[in-house]
Amino acid sequence: MLIYLDANIVQYCADEEDFIFGNSERCKTADPNLRKELVALRRLVELEQLGDWHFVASPHLMAELHAGKPTRDQRKVYKVFQEAWNDSVYSEDSPPTEEKMRGIEQSLSMLKLKHAPDQRHLAEAIALNASWFLTNDKDVVKKAKGGVGGIRVSPPSECLRDISTGLSLR
């Protein structure tokens, strides 16, 4: 299973690295909604060893992450994220062509997403045949209505609920 994390989710993971990867019980954010999603991301990381899934670190996503002038700690996490992707079988597949990406992006224009990068990331997730596109962007979740182009679109907490159920049924 392939999971595409939008850029903000990856940044949250980098900012809360110790919490997400289980090295600290302390989550720094005071925002209860963000805390809920960070707890779900932590649990997804824990469950990853029981499942067979990978997180996408595509060149487009990595370029966006590095364009925002990341901190040294964020760059460190991005590097680990990139290395995990490079070690996955999925990274060996040919990247989608620009023509294919444009076609998918055009098909997503009906969603009328507020930000062009959101549309690009969602198109890339579809082109890579991801199972999930995880985002905290309520606009994207609402407009995708739970899924688009064969992938599920949700915040991490909803993905966790479904994946946990699937693992318990094994």
Which CATH number fits the domain that encloses residue 113?
A: 3.40.50
Output the average pLDDT for the chain: 90
Say which amino acid occupies 141.
V
pLDDT (average), residues 146-169:
83
Total domains present in the chain: 1
CB 156 within 8 A of CB 41: yes
CB 38 within 8 A of CB 60: no
pLDDT (average), residues 147-154:
94
Range of the domain at 154: 2-168
H-only helix segments in the chain: 7-15, 17-20, 32-47, 59-67, 72-86, 98-108, 116-127, 138-144, 156-168
pLDDT digits over 87-127, tens only? 888 877 878 899 999 999 999 999 999 998 999 999 999 99
- Burial (CB count within 10 angstroms: exposed 0-12, middle 13-18, buried 19+), residue 6: buried
